[in-house]
Chains A and B, each alone.
Chain A
Amino acid sequence: MFNIYLKEINSFLSSLIAYIVIAVFLVAMGLLVWVFPETNVIDYGYADMDTFFSMGPFVLMFLIPAITMKMLAEETNTGTIEILIVKPVTKLQVILGKYFAALTLVIVAIIPTLVYYYSLYQLSSPVGNIDTAGIAGSYVGLLLLSSVFCALGILASSLTKNQVVAFILATFLSFILFTGLNSLAGINVWSAISLPLSKLSLEYHYHAIGKGLLDSRDIIYFISVSAVLLYFSKLTLAHKK
């Protein structure tokens, strides 16, 4: 597994995609949090990172599929998957290696935003008057959310040979799972099941953690969704031949 992880990381370093993803994420977030008049913190006047944590998932929803789209689709398309499978590794190890590589890249993209926290800490009045626990919780939430997006991206990539299809599929599924279910729950027709339906959505649990309250139920939800998605990817990989 570590060998595949290493190979993916190496391919990030030697291709432009990783750098572009990190740069786009940081520029987009920087503009949203500090520059754009509708959303920036400075005009808003409160020292919090709500903009970052509410817009972040939508930016990641596009960028994570861009990282994961080629991971299995390209291997299937060029046939290198055959060489990989015939090596003494299990299919699950192949999937996990790729998954953790994608997650690592996302973490590397998110780490520089800690500067935002430091800046707000210094800007707030009096200095340090900031909801540290809430922000820490939100970071954990964002990481858990990213882990689910990565798993979704891997699943989409395992379903098709075509990278563009993998990208669109992953973005769409991420959107449905993040806000789609929550919005559907708002329709009046099934008011009886609207609470359980919205509890199924990523957004519900993301907001719960974002309050700074690390509830084991939310954490288990994120981890189990990722696990199920990765298991499905393994099944598609095994079934494809």
Chain B
Amino acid sequence: MSIIVQELTKIYGDQKAVDAISFEIKENEIVGFLGPNGAGKSTTMKIATTYITPSSGSVIINGLNVEENPLEVRKSIGYLPEHNPLYLDMYVHEYLHFSGRFYGLNKNELKSRTAEVIEMCQLSVEQNKQIGQLSKGYRQRVGLAQALLHDPSVLILDEPTTGLDPNQIVEVRELIKSVSKGKTVLFSTHIMQEVQAVCDRAIVINKGQIVADGSIIELQKNNTQQIIEVEFASKVPDSLLQSFNGVTNVKNIGGNCFQLTVSNSEDVRPEFMHFVTEHDLNLIGISQVQRSMEDVFATLTRSENV
């Protein structure tokens, strides 16, 4: 296990930012840490990077407790904080060298590693500029390059794509995907597609508690509601469709097309075919609608609020 979080709690004043959460991340796994703003994502990550200390519970990274061995833990993690703070008056090379020297890299190693991460993060074009002159997308790359410089086994990225334009988001996502080979990555976001695009597994957190943890497919499946779209050649009354076993909602989406929401965890299409023959309907199309992560996320986090 690369990252083990046990009963982690952080209390600010009388507010519980993180409330007894536990999860484990295997080596080389890319995990999306998903949740609305203020859910406790950053707090958890800050504890994992040793920046803040937990009120109770523990985080163990590569077998080392973050509270007992902070200096050793820091050597094995690369961290990109939220909002990506940078020294704007430093040059890209100067900044990367500065970061690298903390890890005891000597001059030659510094040079070669800097060249490597600049290549990896596609910074070559802008490598001789001052960080303050770079666009936001490039600054994000500098932040990522800084996190990768000492080749850490664990990468912790706090909302790496916030505030970027759509093209930059895609670029940075691709970048994360390509640099994270052979590394354990915990990466937080409140954008669903990002998790779908980058991660193997998602941990959904809301109000300091984990509300879901599993692979993306599992999460989507693990929902008792499913939607099928059906099309008929001739008119079919709503009331007839309502009588299908388990239907909670029938929506006419134009012409003779309907969207049926069915509470059933199994695929209902075979059953629906029986239903069609029974009632002698003229079915010309049927398909299952993939529930997007948005829906999953919305149901998971909203039910908590009620």
Query: Could you tell me which A residues sit within 8 Å of B by CB distance?
Result: 3, 7, 10-11, 14-15, 78-80, 82-83, 85-90, 241
Contact = CB atoms under 8 A, between A and B. Distances in A.
B102 A80 contact: no
Contacts of B98: 3, 7
Given A3-B101, A88-B102, A241-B51, A83 B74 contact: no
B74 A82 contact: no
B136 interface: no
B145 to A, nearest CB: 13
Nearest to A77: B85
Contacts of B102: 3, 87-89
B82 to A, nearest CB: 8
The contact size tier of chain B is 20 to 34
A82 B94 contact: no
A88 B86 contact: no
B291 interface: no
A88 to B, nearest CB: 4
B83 A79 contact: yes
B137 interface: no
Interface string B56-75: 00000000000000011011
Given A79-B81, A86-B79, 7 more contacts: A7-B98, A14-B89, A78-B85, A79-B83, A80-B87, A85-B51, A86-B81
A80 B75 CA distance: 18
Contacts of A89: 71, 102
Contact of B85 (A7, A79, A241): A79
Contacts of A14: 89
A87 B86 contact: no
Contacts of B88: 78
B50 A86 contact: yes
A87 B77 CA distance: 9
22 contacts: A3-B98, A3-B102, A14-B89, A78-B85, A78-B88, A79-B81, A79-B85, A82-B81, A82-B85, A83-B81, A85-B50, A86-B49, A86-B50, A87-B99, A87-B102, A88-B71, A88-B74, A88-B75, A88-B102, A89-B102, A90-B71, A241-B46
Nearest to A89: B102
B52 interface: yes
A8 to B, nearest CB: 11
Given A3-B98, A14-B89, A88-B102, A82 B75 contact: no
Nearest to A241: B52
Contacts of B146: 83
B103 interface: yes
Contacts of A78: 85, 88
Nearest to B94: A10
A3 B96 CA distance: 12
Interface in B93-134: 94, 98-99, 101-103
B248 to A, nearest CB: 47
A88 B79 CA distance: 12
B215 to A, nearest CB: 29
Nearest to B146: A83
Contacts of A10: 94
Nearest to B72: A88
A14 B94 CA distance: 12
B94 A83 contact: no
A205 to B, nearest CB: 37
Nearest to A87: B102
Given A86-B74, A90-B71, A80 B79 contact: no
A15 B85 CA distance: 20
Contact of A82 (B51, B77, B87, B89): B51
Nearest to A14: B89
B103 A88 contact: yes
Contacts of A88: 71-72, 74-75, 102-103
Interface centre among A7, A10, A15, A90 (most CB of B within 10 A): A7
Contacts of B51: 82, 85-86, 241
